[in-house]
Amino acid sequence: MLHGKKIVVVMPAYHAEKTLADCYAAIPHDIVDQVLLVDDASDDATVAVAQRLGIRTHRHTVNRGYGGNQKTCYALALGEGADIVVMLHPDYQYEPRLITAMAAMVASDVYDAVIGSRILGNTALSGGMPRYKYIFNRMLTAAQNLAVGAKLSEFHTGYRAFSRRLLETLPLAANSDDFVFDNQMLVQALAFGQRVGEISCPTKYFADASEIDFRRSVVYGLGVLWTSLVYRLWRWKLLRSPLFSTDAALRLRALQPDAKPVSP
C-alpha cells in the first residue's frame, strides 16, 4: 500500500511455468497488497506453480488471447478493490522491482498511467531485443506520436501501472483480444485526457521469455497503424468508433470476468 491506496499486481499468464517463480519472488511484496494471476488455458504447469507460490489464480477454460486475458485481469483487480493496478508479465522480461516506482507515480496523483519504457535508457538492444523489433518499435512509435499528438518514447511496452479511475473510464470492452489491445488502451488513455508518464525499464530477452514471431509482429504493426488512423478520423469527427466511445456498456466494470477461480 502506498499513500493509503491498495496496490494489486495482475499477471496475464500463458506457458509461464519456467519463469513465474523467479518473477514472483522479485515483486516488492512490502508494498503490494495482492497478486492475481489469470492463466489463459495453458497446457503446462503454470497453474500448479502459481498454486505452490500461493498466488490467487483464475483460469480461462478456453484461450481468450492476450487482450482478453488483460480484460479479465483488470476486472478481477477492480472487484478486489484495487486503487492501483500494475500489469506484470510472468515471463520475467520486465524488472518487477520497478513496481514500487511505477505505483508511486500513480499513487501521488501525478499520473493516471505509467509505462515501463524499454527505449528510455537505451537498454533495449543490449537486453537482447531483436533488431528488427527495435526498428519496428521506433518507426511505429514515431508514426503514432505524430498521429496522436504525443511524445512518448514507445507505445509498445507491456509493463504498465494504472489508476482505478482510468480502468473504470476507458471503453476497454471495445478493444481487441489480441496483442494490439495494449496499443489501443494506451491510445484510448491519451484520447480521454489521461495523464501518462514513463519510467526507464531494462528488459531481458531469453529462451523462456514469451515473444511473438515475425508474422504476428507484422499483424500487430498493421493493427497499430489502423488504431492510429481510427483515432485521427475520430478526432477529426469523420468517424465514430467504439474504441473512443463514452458508452458505459463498453467500460470494464460492466464486464463479467471470464475465468474460474482455481482452488488451492
Residue 54 CB neighbours (<10 A): 10
pLDDT above 90: residue 106:
yes
Nearby residues of 208 by Cβ (< 8 Å), 6 or more positions away: 18, 19, 91
3-state SS, residue 113: strand
Inter-CA distances, 236 with 59, 151, 169, 208, 229, Å: 41, 20, 22, 44, 11
pLDDT in tens, 17-74: 999 999 999 999 999 999 999 999 999 999 999 999 999 999 999 999 999 999 999 9
pLDDT in tens, 187-242: 999 999 999 999 999 887 756 555 667 788 889 999 999 999 999 999 999 999 99
CB 157 within 8 A of CB 201: yes
Residue 263, all three cell numbers: 482452488
Query: pTM higher than 0.75 for the full model?
Result: yes
3-state SS, residue 10: strand
Work out the mean pLDDT of the chain and round it to a whole number. Answer: 91
3-state SS, residue 38: strand
Domain ranges of the chain: 7-245
Q: Where do we find the cell 473510464?
A: 169
Element (H, E) at 9: strand 7-13
pLDDT of residue 209: 58
Question: Is domain 7-245 in CATH 3.90.550.10, yes or no?
Answer: yes
